[in-house]
Amino acid sequence: MSAIEGPGVFEDRSSSPSRHKLRPTDIHSVVCNRVTASGQEQYLVRWAGNWGSSRIPYSWHTIDELSNSLCHLQSYLENRQNESGSLSLHHESRSSSRKRRTPDDEPISQYLAPAQQRSVHPDYSRSSSVMSASSDSSRSLQSESRGAIEPGVYNAVLQKKEGYIIAKASPATNVAHVSGLPTSTMLEHAAQASTTAAENRIRSEMTRKLKALPGAPITFVNTLDRTSPPLSFQFVTKSVLREGVEMLDVETIVGCKKCRPDMGAQKGCEYTKMCGCLEFAAVDEARLTEEERAIYEASGKDNVSKFGKKFPYFSSGTRKGCLVPFYLESRNAIYECNQNCRCGPGCKNRNVQYGRKVELQIFKTQNRGWGLRCSQDLREGDFIDTYRGEIVTDAEANIREREAGLGKPSYLYVLDKFGVDNGIAQEDLYVIDGEYLGGPTRFINHSCEPNCRQYTVSYNKYDFRVYEIALFAYRDIPAYEELLFDYMDKDDDDPLTEPEGEHRAECNCGANNCRKWLWV
């Protein structure tokens, strides 16, 4: 292990600096940026840990050193952009630090040479001017004054160990500990310093990440600014069950018993309409005999299991595999066959379970963040993808919602399709959180006049709490038209109440019949 003097300057010259990275978990946040005289972008890292307010280590790092921690860099750049250059978000409050000030707890600007305080592009040469345990405070301050160079490390010494750069509390007792970073001078410089190299690195990392995904390609484009979709978002092909969430064991799923794999006419799930998996599916009312209709209607249309069902997908023709108009227009759940069925993998009642087949593109919209579109024409009824993520309990979802605050985008989706009818209380329902983990559908925006729609798809008719939310094209959609669904998807006869104050989020869908609010 050896001490590091500053960004990219190592005592141990035999090791390549670029091999050493910061561990994302060691970083609290990136708080400032600068460009050195040699044109190198550097970022000021606030280290995570319990240090005491005036002893928190800060150090400047190159993009290479931060290449395992690009999420932190990305969130800094996004805040920087949102704050439109003021960069005040991460700036520790002077008034609060003043309250706790101790004799050695002065703002760093007091230690900087005048040239440095004035300078917009100071000379950040790779000289030995750093504040670390290896240099006592007086030596640090002297060298700063001489060279007018901002220190590379504050309140600590950096060491490298097994490929990582690590901050250690300064062992020297007479090191001047500083707080109030970044200083206003640093912020002024930061506001004018280029961040292009970091943006490019983030962009390449996002592209690499998307290319590595299985299935039809997902790309991203941004013709509006230099941002990329969040690197912190993890693409998964299946939802992940979090603590307290249980789904029925796959071994116990009941499959269809009468259907067969050699499904010619007369034998397939799609022909008989009596496939066991469709037991709770919508009755095919048009095919009921007089006698059947009388029984069915007398039961208040509740006695569904005996009658032939609507099959969800076209089994042949030009729209083979597409959702049939009946389901497109209804809110009936779609029941697919499963791994315990006799029909086998070729059964035409399997679609959503085989996953996305269409190529998608994440793109930056004018007024609603990232959006999603398909790079090929979609037919009415084409399956796009599922909405997936972490499945959490209702209580956990409430905590996440509270912590997120009202101004933040929402990615929560309640799985309440079967709950009420099966006596499950609201607080026992589960919620999909697609914010940090999920599929590309997490980027689909809302429209009051949508071209897609969400449907309930179940592979286990007895599991009332865990099922899929699947997005299908609600009409033919030409390539590159933004995919949009109605977040509320209310029945026409459901009254829409005006949302109240702080809970409302304004809708920018621009449709003629726009309801003005995303949800109520």
Cβ distance to ligand SAM smaller for residue 43 or 411 = 411
CB of 24 to ligand SAM, least distance (A): 21
Cβ nearer to ligand SAM, comparing 91 with 368: 368
* Among 123-131, 328-336, 348-356, 367-375, the segment contacting ligand SAM (CB under 6 A): 367-375
Across 295-429, the runs of DSSP E, i.e. the strands, are: 334-335, 360-364, 370-374, 383-387, 390-393, 412-415
DSSP three-state, residue 21 = strand
Distances in whole angstroms, Cα of residue 463 to Cα of each of 240, 278, 389, 468: 16, 14, 18, 11
Alpha helices in 100-173 (DSSP H): 114-118, 137-147
Binding residue for ligand SAM (CB under 6 A) from 411, 430, 455, 485? Answer: 411
For residue 209, which phi and psi values (nearest 5 degrees)? -60, -45
In angstroms, what is the minimal distance from the CB of 511 to ligand SAM? 9
Contact call for residue 508 and ligand SAM (CB under 6 A): yes
Going across the sheet that includes 412-415, the strands are 240-241, 390-393, 430-433, 412-415
Euclidean distance between CA atoms 480 and 84, whole angstroms: 30
Q: Is 388 in the site for ligand SAM (CB under 6 A)?
A: no
**Catalytic one of 387, 455, 467, 474:** 387
Task: Rule CB under 6 A: say whether 409 interacts with ligand SAM.
Answer: yes
Q: Considering the rule CB under 6 A, would residue 224 count as an interface residue with ligand SAM?
A: no
- Total of residues contacting ligand SAM (CB under 6 A): 16
Nearer to ligand SAM by Cβ, of 146 and 490: the residue is 490
Stretch that binds ligand SAM, among 179-187, 235-243, 363-371, 469-477 (CB under 6 A): 363-371
Comparison of 220 and 383: residue with beta carbon closer to ligand SAM: 220
Residues whose CB falls within 8 Å of the CB of residue 304, separated by 6 or more in sequence, listed in order? 279, 280, 281, 282, 283, 296
Among candidates 301, 328, 315, which has minimal Cα distance to 273?
Answer: 315
SS3 33: strand
Which of residues 354 and 519 has its CB atom nearest to ligand SAM in the complex? 519
Rounded Cα distance between 340 and 253, Å, is 7
Q: Is 261 in the site for ligand SAM (CB under 6 A)?
A: no
Shortest spacing between CB 488 and ligand SAM, in angstroms? 11
Site residues (CB under 6 A) for ligand SAM, limited to 128-187: none
Active site residue 124: no
Write phi, then psi, for 121 (nearest 5 degrees): -125, 75
Kindly state whether residue 453 participates in binding ligand SAM, applying the rule CB under 6 A: no
Report how far residue 247's alpha carbon sits from residue 249's, in angstroms, rounded to the nearest whole number: 6
- Is-catalytic flag, 487? yes
CB 512 → ligand SAM: shortest distance, Å?
14
Give me the residues that bind ligand SAM (CB under 6 A), please: 368-370, 409-411, 442-443, 445-447, 505, 507-509, 518
Q: Which residues are catalytic?
A: 387, 487
